[in-house]
Amino acid sequence: MQDHYKKFDLTNKVAIITGASEGIGRDMAIGLAEAGADIIICSRREDKLLEVKEAAEKTGRKADIYIIDIRNVSEIEGLKAFIKAKTDKVDILINNAGYVVTKPAWDISESDWDAMVDTGFKGLFFCCQAIGSIMREHGYGKIINLSSTYSQSVFPGRSVYAGIKAGINHLTEALALEWAPHGIRVNAIAPTAINTPSRHTTLQGPILEKVLARIPLGRLATSDDLIGAVIYLSSVASDFVTGHTLFVDGGWVAAS
């Protein structure tokens, strides 16, 4: 009998996580290290990345940092060059970096639009392209894009964000189709509202009540809820899964 549990082991895999300085990016990076992966963590904030690096290395795995603003394609190419020089191998890419402005659609400015689209969609695509090209050389890789329940079910004040996340789902399918012959699996994870420190100020009172009322399981998501899904989609256990968006949402979309 096969030991199916071992299929989830990420020992000696190399994982890149963008937006890894805090929140769910930080927690996913440490979760991947705990599952056995060596990690390269990326964001604009070196001080925070150093804290994540220290926490990840306590698991016994290697952790490198790379300072990057993924709105700039030249910096993404710099990340690719760094990887080629460092390991020449990438098994897993987690596209977590994003930016959100919560405003009525009437009030969205061009700068708001550019910040959200350039980070959450343009940056994500060119990270897929640059890091995916390294995976192509080895004939294997796992790309996981961070989507959202707002990709299918909207909420006031999140019009542009919802449009980006819907685009990520569709882009995930398109890349999965194109890159399957190269052994690259491309999937997305779509969480509902996550109970992170940055949300404590926004998810309060009536807003929190409205959100909870739309989640059949009756609570916000936590980073731990996502880590299992990330490990699954990063591992050989999901080798026959591609082009899929996995909703980790407590039933939000089903209820909508």
CA distance 238 to 50: 31
Among left, alpha and beta (phi > 0; psi -120 to 50; other), residue 194 is: beta
Structure tokens at 232: 């699954």
CA distance 79 to 71: 13
14 three-class SS: strand
DSSP state of 10: -
Structure tokens at 256: 């909508």
Q: Look up 161 and say whether it is catalytic.
A: yes
Segment holding 17, helix H or strand E: strand 14-18
Of 5, 99, 161, 232, the active-site residue reads 161
Is residue 39 a contact partner of residue 63, using CB atoms and an 8 Å limit?
yes
State the catalytic residues: 161
